Structure formats: C-alpha cells, structure tokens
Amino acid sequence: MIHEILAVGPLQCNCSIIGDETTHEAMVIDPGDDIEDVLALVREHNLQVKQIVITHAHIDHVGGAMKLRAATGAPILLNENDYALLKMLDVQAAWIGVAAPGEVRIDQTVTTGDTVKAGAHQASVLHTPGHTEGSICLYFPAEKKLIAGDTLFAGSIGRTDLPGGSTQKIMQSLQGTVLALPDETLVVPGHGPLTTIGEERQRNPFLLRRSNRVD
C-alpha cells in the first residue's frame, strides 16, 4: 500500500493519499487545502485518483475537494448527514478567517456497510457521529489501519461544541464502534500524530473517564 499523509492548510488537516502499487488506483481522503502538493504526490507515485472521500464537512477537511475533483475527475463521497454542514462552508470560512472555497457538490453518500477502495486496498465505512452528524471513519481490515477524521486523536477526542456536535454521540461512536477495533490498529487522526487503538484504549483520558464509570 502506498500511503502518504500530508498536513494541509492553516489547521494542518491530515490528508491521506492511499494507492495500490500494482494497479496505481488511488483514493484521497480529506483534501482540505494545498491541492497542488496533493497532486504532486499523486504524480510522483503515478497514481490515478478514483475516489475523494471526506470524513466530515468541516472546511479544513473538504475545502480543496472541488479543485481535486476538477483535476482528477474522481467523485466526492460524504455521509449525507453532513450535507447541511456543507452548505455552511462560507460561515465556517469566516470562523477560521480563510477564503470560502465555493460550493462543494457531493457525488455519493457513504455510510456503515459501504466500502471505499484504492485498487486492492479496501476500507469499510464506519458512521461515527458526534464531532459532526455525518462523521465517518475508514477502516482497512487487511492493513489494520483506521482513518479517524476528527473523531479520535492521540490523547484526545473530537470537539463537540460546533453545530451538529454531540458529546453523547461521540462517546457512543468511540465506545461502540472505534474501540471495537483491534488494539494493534494504526490510527491516522484528522490532525496531529498517529497512534493506535490499544494506546488510546489504555491512555486516552476521555476514554478512560468513561470506561471507569460505575453508575
């Protein structure tokens, strides 16, 4: 598996380029910004982008999607529960003081039970609401790798104080879905350093607090 991770844009969103070294098919996850850098890596590995997958409709994850779509022709995939948030990109741009990227059009909704793929490398879509209503994670079972979006970070979890956020839902998603994955699963969060499910199960204070509750 070819897997390049670049921190893009002012909020340094982790954008993943995942490619099959045999078929050269690829997917790009969360092309928030810096699309020229993304395309340079795509060319360097001689890849053909077949899918653009968005973990959730925050501007730092989706802002460059239309530019990448225009350059590659690949469809954009997002869970439909985030379509309302996607219509607020101009408001989101004002929050963080960047230029609004214009309208982003989604080609296909994806949810639990769906599969996304880059050649032979397949990921299961896991709908994990909480950070936003339509947040998803992507789990590659053969590689034991999770692209977590802003649901889980090394030592932290996604904020739930923005529109569509729910602390109760993110805890359900983490305890019921994310922590059901094997300990050795490598986690690529939406921002910051990589971690593993086992590491977070043992040390993440947000997860420990919950699991230690006796009431």
Cα gap 46→44, rounded to integer Å: 5
Cα gap 201→195, rounded to integer Å: 11
| CB contact at 8 A, 14 and 40 | no
In the complex, least distance from residue 76 CB atom to Zn ion, rounded to whole angstroms: 17
Helices (H), the chain: 35-44, 59-62, 65-72, 83-86, 89-96, 167-176, 197-203, 205-211
- Catalog residues that contact Zn ion under the rule CB under 5 A: 58, 150
In the complex, least distance from residue 131 CB atom to Zn ion, rounded to whole angstroms: 6
50 vs 58, beta carbon nearer Zn ion: 58
In the complex, least distance from residue 196 CB atom to Zn ion, rounded to whole angstroms: 21
Partnered with residue 17 across adjacent β-strands are 4, 28
Nearest residue relative to Zn ion (C-beta): 58
26 vs 85, beta carbon nearer Zn ion: 85
26 vs 126, beta carbon nearer Zn ion: 126
25 vs 60, beta carbon nearer Zn ion: 60
25 CB contacts (<8 Å, ≥6 apart)? 19, 47, 48, 50, 117, 118, 119
In the complex, least distance from residue 59 CB atom to Zn ion, rounded to whole angstroms: 9
Q: Which residue has the tokens 């990448």?
A: 68
In the complex, least distance from residue 213 CB atom to Zn ion, rounded to whole angstroms: 26
| CB contact at 8 A, 21 and 67 | no
32 vs 119, beta carbon nearer Zn ion: 32
